Amino acid sequence: MNKLFFGLGFFGFLWIGVFGNAIAQDSLYTKYGDLLLGKIEKITAEKIYFKTAYRSAAVDIKLSEVAKVSSPEGFLLNDIRNKNWRGQLILDSTHQDMVGIRMADSVYFFRQKDIYTLGKDQKKRFKDRFKLGIDLGFTRAKSENSLSLSAGMYSRYRTRRWDTNFDFQNYAAVIGPTVIGRSSFTYNLSYILPKEWFFNGRYLLFSTTEQNLDLRRNFSLSMGRYIVHRDDKVFSLSGGLVSNREQYFENPQIFKSVEGNLSTHLYGKFGENFDGMADWSFFPSLTEKGRIRNTLSLDLKYLFLNHFNIGIHYVLNTDSDPPLETENRDFILELKFGWTVHRR
């Protein structure tokens, strides 16, 4: 009898070892009658990415083409109010354009616009939240008639509550005896409050020969709100105060001022391979009557081969009444090629 139980037990462990992976697989049924077995890698507002054994890359399927999906693993849905919902995923044709989470005693369905993130209920690693990228490009500046090289680097670490990033951009060219250059370094730190309000601290170092500006130092504190806040779409408004310190070429005097700040930030993904960003900031001076500064930044990228992108970057700075007699406007237009360590 003991030998019989031992044999049955051994056979049971063998069965689990051989077929356990198949039993634990996710399954997806399309509206066309196809059945896929594998693993759900990612779900976005438009598609589900499904990894199968017979393909090295995940299959991307439109949500409108999915009839049913099931998974033995739990899912975590974070809504736009920063509330977590944990349970089994429900995605079927009876609730089109909606995602459901089956909890212990009830089922909740969410519209795509109400979802911030959705994925397997597992602890995120550092690399899932961290981005690092570099880019090289050709730049056309306001004062020059030829293209010159530029370089930049950016990094970001983002959680649901904290968002911190730095950005460095540098451009320089020699035209005859004249050196034309532009450099900027920006560090941002944001803390996101309930109901999508946030605090932001920002430190900026900026220099441009076009406006004869040797160094501008800005430190700002602001408060804002996300009008749209999802993993692939962001639109925010903010306002605050700025401490401005400026020093110009060939002049040892340091000019200090206090400014107000109104800003907008827009980010979005367009389809599978495009993303764009637009930032506008308005700085009315509180200590210098009539002085107003503006900064506009536009960025459009095409993503390919998971880690690479090519894009266009435009920046415009205006100053209605600088402390010294110099140019009121400075812009660059850049065509750039970039690489990021974060896989899209």
- Please report which residue ranges of the chain form alpha helices under DSSP H: 2-23, 126-129
What whole-number percentage of the chain has pLDDT above 90? 38
Name the residue type at position 104.
A
Asked if pLDDT for residue 18 goes beyond 50, the answer is no
pLDDT in tens, 189-207: 999 987 889 999 999 999 9
Q: What is the pLDDT of residues 266-306, one digit of tens each?
A: 999 887 789 999 999 999 999 999 999 999 999 999 998 87
- Give the closest residue to 315 by CA, choosing from 299, 328, 304, 331: 331
Instruction: For residue 289, give both structure tokens.
Output: 């009557």
- For 10-24, 80-94, 182-196, 227-241, which range has the lowest pLDDT when averaged over its residues? 10-24
| The predicted structure's pLDDT at residue 130 | 87
* CA–CA separation, 153 and 67 (whole Å): 43
What integer pLDDT is reported at residue 133 of this predicted model?
Answer: 92
Where residue 142 falls among pLDDT bands split at 50, 70, 90? Answer: low
* pLDDT reading at 47 higher than 50: yes
Q: Is the dihedral of CA 202, 203, 209, 212 positive or negative?
A: positive
Segment 171-191 mean pLDDT:
81
Q: Greater confidence, 17 or 118?
A: 118
Give which of 310, 308, 313, 312 is closest to 339, Cα–Cα. Answer: 308
pLDDT higher than 70, residue 168: yes
User: What pLDDT is attached to residue 177?
Assistant: 60
Greatest mean pLDDT among 34-38, 164-168, 271-275: 164-168
Which SS3 state, helix, strand or coil, does residue 122 take? coil
Residues 6+ apart with CB under 8 A from 165: 154, 155, 156, 157, 158, 187, 188
Tabulate helix, strand, coil % of the chain (nearest 5). Answer: 10, 65, 25
Cα(251)–Cα(324) distance, rounded to whole angstroms?
Answer: 9
pLDDT exceeds 90 at position 229: no
Higher confidence at residue 168 or residue 6? Answer: 168
Q: Helix or strand or coil: residue 257?
A: strand
Token reading at 46: 């438009």
Mean pLDDT over 115-131 rounds to 81
Q: Is 186 exposed, middle or buried (0-12, 13-18, 19+ CB in 10 A)?
A: middle
Q: What is the pLDDT of residue 73?
A: 82
pTM above 0.75, yes or no: yes
